[in-house]
Chain A
Amino acid sequence: MNYNILLAGFGGQGVLFAGKLLAYCALISEKEISWLPSYGPEMRGGTCNCSVCISDEPIGSPLVTEPNVFVALNQPSFDKFIGKVKEGGKAFVDSTLVETKCDRTDIECFYVPATQLEADNDLPKGANIILLGKVLQETGMFTDEVIRKALEKIVPPAKAFLIDNNLRAIGIGRAQ
Chain B
Amino acid sequence: MKGNEALAEAAMRAGCKCFFGYPITPQTELAAYMAKRMNKNGGVFLQAESEIAAINMVLGAASTGVRAMTSSSSPGISLKSEGISYIAGSDLPCVIINVERGGPGLGGIQPSQADYWQATKGLAHGDFHLLVYAPASVQEMVDMVIKAFDKADTYRMPAMILADGLLGQMMEPVTFPEIEQKTHDKSSWAANGHKGQREHHIINSLYLTPEELERTVVERFAKYDTIKQTETDAELYMTEDADILVCAFGATARVVKSAVNEAREMGIKAGMFRPKTVWPFPVNELQEASKNASQILSVEMSMGQMIDDIKLALNCSKPVEFFGRTGGVIPTPAEVLAKIKAMGGNK
Contacts and interface: CB of A to CB of B under 8 A. Distances in A.
Interface residues of B, number: 21
A60 B333 contact: yes
Interface stretch (A31-39, A117-125, A127-135, A168-176): A31-39
13 contacts: A27-B173, A34-B172, A35-B170, A36-B166, A36-B171, A39-B109, A39-B169, A40-B109, A61-B255, A61-B257, A61-B258, A63-B255, A66-B334
Query: Could you say which of A39, A60, A61 has the most chain B C-beta atoms within 10 Å of its C-beta?
Result: A61
Interface in A7-39: 20, 23, 27, 33-37, 39
Contacts, number: 52
Interface in A59-74: 59-63, 65-66
Interface in B292-319: none
Contact of A65 (B110, B170, B171, B334): B334
B165 A61 contact: no
B26 interface: yes
A44 B46 CA distance: 30
A27 B251 CA distance: 21
A62 B172 CA distance: 10
A39 B26 contact: yes
A65 B172 CA distance: 18
B197 to A, nearest CB: 51
Contacts of A41: 109
A63 B332 contact: yes
Interface string B251-295: 100110110010000000000000000000000000000000000
A27 B172 CA distance: 9
Given A27-B173, A60-B333, 19 more contacts: A23-B171, A33-B171, A33-B173, A35-B171, A35-B172, A36-B169, A36-B171, A39-B165, A39-B169, A40-B109, A59-B172, A59-B254, A61-B254, A61-B255, A61-B258, A62-B166, A62-B251, A62-B254, A66-B334
A60 B170 contact: no
Interface residues of A, number: 18
Contacts of A37: 169-170
B110 A40 contact: yes
B64 interface: no
A68 to B, nearest CB: 14
B333 A61 contact: yes
B238 to A, nearest CB: 13
Contacts of A39: 25-26, 109, 165, 169
A46 B254 CA distance: 29
A80 to B, nearest CB: 16
Interface in B64-110: 109-110
A41 to B, nearest CB: 8
Nearest to A34: B172
Which of A34, A59, A62, A65 gathers most chain B CB within 10 Å? A62
A40 B171 CA distance: 17
Contact of B332 (A23, A33, A36, A65): A65
A37 B4 CA distance: 13
B258 A60 contact: yes
B203 interface: no
A63 B171 contact: no
Nearest to A37: B169
Interface in B120-151: none
A65 B336 CA distance: 13
Contacts of B35: none
Contacts of A27: 173
Given A33-B173, A39-B26, A65-B332, A60 B165 contact: no
Contacts of B334: 65-66
